Amino acid sequence: MCGITGFWGGGRWEPAIGENMAARIERRGPDDVGVWVGRREGLTLAHRRLSILDLSPAGHQPMHSPCGRFTLVYNGEIYNHQDLRNQLQGEGGAFEWRGHSDTETLLASLRHWGVRGALERINGMFAFALWDASERTLFLARDRMGEKPLYYGRSGDAFLFGSELKALAAHPDWRGEVDRDALALYMRHNYVPAPWSIYRGVSKLPPAHYVAIREGGRAIGEPRCYWDLGMVAEQGAAAASGTAESLTDELDALLQDAVGRRMASDVPLGAFLSGGYDSTTVAALMQAQSERPIQTFTIGFHEEGYNEAVHARAVAGHLGTDHTELYVTPEQAMAVIPKLPTIYDEPFSDSSQIPTYLVSQLARQHVTVSLSGDGGDELFYGYGRYFKTNQIWGKLSRLPLPMRKFAAALIARSPGHSLEKAMQFLPSRYRINHLADRLPKLAEILGHSSGEAFYREMVSHAKDPARLVLGATEPDTILSKPARLPNLPSLRERMMYLDQMSYLPGDILTKVDRASMAVSLEARVPLLDHRLVEFAWRVPTEYKFREGQGKWLLRQVLYRYVPQEIMDRPKMGFGVPIEQWLRGPLREWAEELLDEKRLREEGFFNPAPIRKMWEEHISGKRRWHYYLWDVLMFQAWLEEWGAR
């Protein structure tokens, strides 16, 4: 794992600029640094290295092809790189390998098959920049599911790119103007979705795309897709078939291969283990292929409802792993908060960013690579919201839309807080918890005309972000344009597709990448091997959700390795008690960031609705912690980066 950055144009070619940009992302690669300056081209490429495969100087970057035409900086791992080497040799290529790094394999593949041809053959997580001196073209590319980040755009007279925005901000031409439209998107999603970034003129390269830049960085092409997830989903769903036994066998074999490939490392390796189905599956398949106990890592919390460590310990005991756990105090968890703006570079407000950083920090004390179980929910129907949305919409959609809109208007005027208080006098089995939150949410969702719009409402934070962000017009995304969706059989498949295109790369994988890289730990995600993604779309939905359970097929594989009685427990999120913290130890910090005068002077937010949410939350009238955390993480980010 590494970090890449560079720039083109602007009349500058001092090596110190590239060195400074690379220094900003040192945590992504503390083992080595390399800068190449093409004075004639006006191009600089820089690299920070975290040595994983081939620790020798033969893996140093920027790496040049033997012919001198190509120069590469690359971040990631190519899991089939030995297969690619064999294929290259078999096709008559005269390759004299200098080492056994996957960087050298990638460069040879790009040289032999071209950019698109190589991308279509690669199994891995990556972001890279390739300079083609013959065509005078710079290519940027990103892996299929978006595990590795890549930002690019023009600032001043220069074209800039990098693994993280902080690298771009080190360039002398950096401007860094906040994009209010992107801020509106952030307030809806709790992350800024690709292709936007928080800065005007700077984009995220979407997953499974590459882009060509020419004319000294002045001509930026349209990103091109080399692996179409929509087509994968549509064709897979149309051809979905198989028996439970045959599909379980096929999934087991695919998982073994995906996990085995991600165990290749010349440095110590382990796994995150929460005790849930996904991380347990990864750990179990690692242990099944290891001759000695693998290392597993868990953090625990003393607060009830947030502690998975007990379950993880039971799993580790059964598997026989070398298990390390750390119970974290609220003070230790809250100490992470001041670091978040620097770790994430742009506003990001999934509060599980805190435990993800802590478990990464724990793992890095013992290993350099850790496997993660992310992706199982999106591939195999694991989120409870899939079932709830499908069930609720199935009933609501039978009612005429005018009737639903009339009911929504009545519910919106209901005194939810007063009703909630009155229900305290009823027996517990008749009470409805958090009625003050649920009634307004019900009113918001009743008036939608499609299941996709209903789901967008379900996963949105701010329902009308342009009302909160001054001067913003919220751009359309795939979530707001159902016409862009592939032809899928039902709302269930469309929800999973939407999450794989948006929430998974924008939230989950961003969180894992930044948290792990902040401590120089490489995180690998076997469940997102593209062959597994393609397989999951060929699995009939009744084998994903069956007998009232999500991830049914994945469970059948896991039960071959871990007894069902150890695993069967309610799903638990990986979070921290932000709701209580904002009313307690974080109240003073939050009050300062949400000060009405401050909000007005900064000029990004409409203070009135934000102050109302804050007052209702601290009084206990409503639970606004998710919405407030969005605002607070932007405010903390602005405090850190605005002055720069």
Residue 287: CA atoms inside 13 Å, Cβ hemisphere, count? 25
Residue 373 assigned as binding residue? yes
Contact between 60 and 32 under an 8 Å Cβ cutoff? The reply is yes
- Which of 544, 447, 552 lies closest to 489, judged by CA? 544
Q: How far apart are CA 393 and CA 424, in angstroms?
A: 30
Using N-to-C axis directions, what is the helix angle for 491-501 and 229-238, rounded to 10°? 160
* 392 Cβ contact list (under 8 Å, min separation 6): 445, 454
Q: For residues 239-261, b (16+ Cβ closer than 10 Å) or e, as one string?
A: ebebeeeebbebbbebbbbbbbb
- Which of 504, 492, 485 lies closest to 388, judged by CA? 492
Sign, CA torsion 510/254/367/85: negative
Q: How far apart are CA 524 and CA 77, in angstroms?
A: 9
DSSP classification of residue 604: S
Q: How far apart are CA 204 and CA 192, in angstroms?
A: 9
Q: How many residues does the chain have?
A: 644
Query: Is 2 marked active-site?
Result: yes
* 538 Cβ contact list (under 8 Å, min separation 6): 236, 237, 239, 240, 241, 242
For residue 96, count other CB atoms closer than 10 A to its CB: 5
Q: Phi and psi of 214, rounded to 5°?
A: -135, 180
Catalytic residue among 1, 2, 178, 255: 2
Residue 329's alpha-carbon distances to 273, 337, 561, in angstroms, are 19, 14, 33
Residue 371's alpha-carbon distances to 79, 184, 196, 546, 623, in angstroms, are 13, 34, 28, 28, 35
For residue 195, is the peptide bond before it cis, meaning its omega torsion is within 30 degrees of 0? yes
Let me know the angle formed at the C-alpha of 232 by 546 and 128, rounded to the nearest 5 degrees: 120
DSSP states of 114-165: HHHHHHHH--EEEEEEEEETTTTEEEEEE-SS--S--EEEEETTEEEEESSH
Q: How far apart are CA 159 and CA 344, in angstroms?
A: 22
Q: Phi and psi of 269, rounded to 5°?
A: -135, 145
Residue 372 assigned as binding residue? yes
Find the Cα–Cα–Cα–Cα dihedral 615, 617, 621, 627, rounded to 10°. Answer: 110
DSSP states of 402-455: HHHHHHHHHHHTS-HHHHHHHGGGS-GGG--TTHHHHHHHHHHHHT-SSHHHHH
Residue 619 assigned as binding residue? no
Binding residue numbers for ATP: 299, 372-373
Residues assigned a catalytic role: 2
Binding residue numbers for L-glutamine: 102
